[in-house]
Structure 1
Amino acid sequence: MSEITEQVAPKTGFISMSFVKKMSGPLVGLILLCVFFSVTSEFFLSARNGLNILDQVTVLGILAIGMTLVIVIGGIDLSVGSVLAFSMMMMGVMQRQLGLPLELAIVVGIATGAICGLVSGLLITIAKLPPFIATLAVMSVTRGLANILTEGKQIVGYPDWFTSLATVRQFGFLSMTVATFIVLAIIAAIILKYRPAGRNLFAIGGNPEVARLAGINVNLNTCIVYALSGALAGLAAVAFAARLDSSQPSAGLGYELDTIAAVVIGGASLSGGVGSIFGTVVGVFIIGVLRNGLNLLGVSPFIQQVLIGVVIAAAVTFDTLGRKRR
């Protein structure tokens, strides 16, 4: 079994030359973006703007960790933005309308996300729906439920200790939400690169049938990965609500596209079997720096969407050409 898994899964040495070559593009792109915006905007290199970028990428980063796992197994999750909104509204309803302690409401919000992700996994493994269709259906349902809960109205006003999770900076620069993103990224990177569970995901993405013959429970792992993606969407909802001091049914619109873009820009392959958390973090910062810099330059949000679309197309093109050369 180990021999078959080893054939499908990538080598997991500390730093391989192939990894360095694959990551050189995104890293160089991030550095060039920083240099460009440093020259064109006097505010970009300020400490305050750097902290703003960290705050802005936290929600996207938490979502992207779960999306990395999904894409590694050859799947896709279009529902993360809507699941974020539904989880956020569930948390708000539980605390503000039903009177549950906020700590318990947070647990309910994260559990809501996990259940939504599990539904996607079951639709894929039991109903045999393609991941695109299964998560598209869950996206539609959860966005509708998010609006139904409060008839499209937002829930405003959380306790000060909750909003301080996103506003109070420990050691002068690190909020609890940013720290959560960093810790999650480190844990996910270790599991994905060094633990058997992570290697199993690469094996599934490389060839599900070979992985099954190697003794890996493909259906179980698929359901776990989608449930984790949903749970992380629920956790991102908590971070987002703390930052906004509100729960909004329109939250997370378009986040699924930014999340997929960050993972692909970071070197993951949409065909599965390739990806890393480090690459995803680089991709997240590319999206974050690009949006932040364009805002500082006063570029229209509509033009921003065009530019980000071009970046996504370029990243996928380079990935496709690179796989053909290999």
Structure 2
Amino acid sequence: MQAPLYQLEGVSRCYGATRALDRCSLSVPSGRVTGIAGPNGSGKSTLLSLLAFVERPDEGRVLFQGQEEHPFSPAVRHRVTLMPQTPFLLDRSVFDNVSYGLAVKKDRTDVAGRVRRALTRVGLDFDAFSGRRRNELSGGEAQRVALAARLILDPEVLILDEPTASVDAASSFLIHQAILAFAALPGKTVILTSHDAAWLDSVSDEVLFFFRGRRVTEKMGLMLFGPFAKDPASGMWAAGTGQGTIVVPEPPSADAVAAVPERCLRMGREEGAHEAGFDAEVRETALQKGRTGARVILTGAGFPLTLSCPANQLPEPGRTVRVSYPLDSVQWL
């Protein structure tokens, strides 16, 4: 079995009193696309900064190819590159922005040709875009220029924080294609985050789920943040969402968060004994990378949720379906 590219051993990272990552241990394989999912504040961006060796952990170790590494280590310099959620473009031409990393490395080999190829990989025409300034670009075009500036460096590991946040549909598709093309090259690894569950599934070989700075071993399809109230008549607990209620077991504390693993959610049938259910509207559907199933994104009782279903049983967007789950499948985070 191939050794993992990264290993995190008991890693914690704090910002003041906030523990962004809490004793996190995991491994990331090489040659694959690994997605990182979770709600805001779950530690995703902090994890990417540690994997890119932009920051040091306060506790624990980050191993790269079996060796503990740190920021500015020669062993990882130029091999790992990070594109943050809001990448910064210099107030220069697109050509200068894309070639900036080569200039820093004092690499002058075929710069124009490499810029042309990098722009082509993200769907931007060299002749039309190379002379433009950043204020002449749309948000999606600027994001693709930032990605081209990373691709031109030919890193072994490409780390992307929300690469399609606030971009148009065409740019999202072109970024998706550029990531898959890069990942298909020998010896390349991609690690990325996205709040778009369907998009993340379509590009990732594996998705790791985080919550409150820790990795959750199972991918959650439904999360409820409460508050939870007990129905005096039935004795059941539920979370009110403004559009309905979702039944849960008794919460262990006032600030507990209820979660149901994606594998426990069932769509299209009424609940049986010891099950609960609610109505949800299908928002979108998407095929999953390398899998026979498909991803369904629903809006039910005021929140988005995701679940999988056979590709030949995809419901149409806009349709209302019943979602059920066993009450004993609810986990408290």
Q: Same fold (TM over 0.5)?
A: no
Answer 1 or 2: which has greater strand percent: 2
Higher RCO, 1 vs 2 (CA within 8 Å, ≥6 residues apart): 1
Indicate the TM-score class for this superposition, using the shorter chain for normalisation: under 0.3
Which has the higher Rg, Structure 1 or Structure 2?
Answer: 2
How does the TM-score come out when normalised to structure 1?
Answer: 0.23
Q: Normalization by structure 2: what TM-score?
A: 0.23
